[in-house]
């Protein structure tokens, strides 16, 4: 599998997550770069008028997960391993 195909698979995998129906993202993955953008809706703000930490944490968690995959080429969440018992 070439790198472009791998990057596109990572993007599709990420976009398929059910949580992304709550925070609809735009994503770009390339060599050593993972960028996620969301439109911040008014309902994402808490009563003090700032973006709720759950939104920020979700973006950080997701982008750091993707970044780890890009930095560690031996690891791929797209590979499935089977074992026999």
pLDDT at 78: 53
pLDDT at 76: 53
Within a domain: 20: yes
pLDDT at 25: 94
Tokens of 81: 């391993």
Distance CA 84, CA 79 (A): 17
Within a domain: 24: yes
The count of other CB atoms within 10 Å of the CB of residue 11 is 19
CB proximity list for 24: less than 8 A, separation 6 or greater: 38, 39
Q: Is 50 helix (H, G, I), strand (E, B) or coil?
A: coil
User: What is the pTM for the complete model shown?
Assistant: 0.72
pLDDT at 82: 46
Residues of the chain with confidence (pLDDT) below 50? 80-85
pLDDT at 5: 83
Domain residues for the domain of 51 are 3-71
% of the chain at pLDDT higher than 70: 82
Distance CA 46, CA 36 (A): 22
**Count of domains in the chain?**
1
């Amino acid at each position: 599998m070439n790198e472009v195909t791998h990057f596109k698979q990572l993007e599709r995998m990420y976009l398929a997550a059910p949580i992304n129906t709550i925070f609809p993202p735009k994503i770009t993955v390339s060599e050593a770069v993972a960028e996620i953008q969301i439109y911040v809706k008014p309902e994402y703000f808490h009563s003090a008028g700032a973006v709720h930490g759950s939104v920020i944490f979700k973006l950080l968690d997701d982008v750091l997960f993707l970044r780890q995959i890009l930095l560690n080429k031996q690891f791929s969440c797209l590979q499935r391993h089977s074992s026999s018992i």
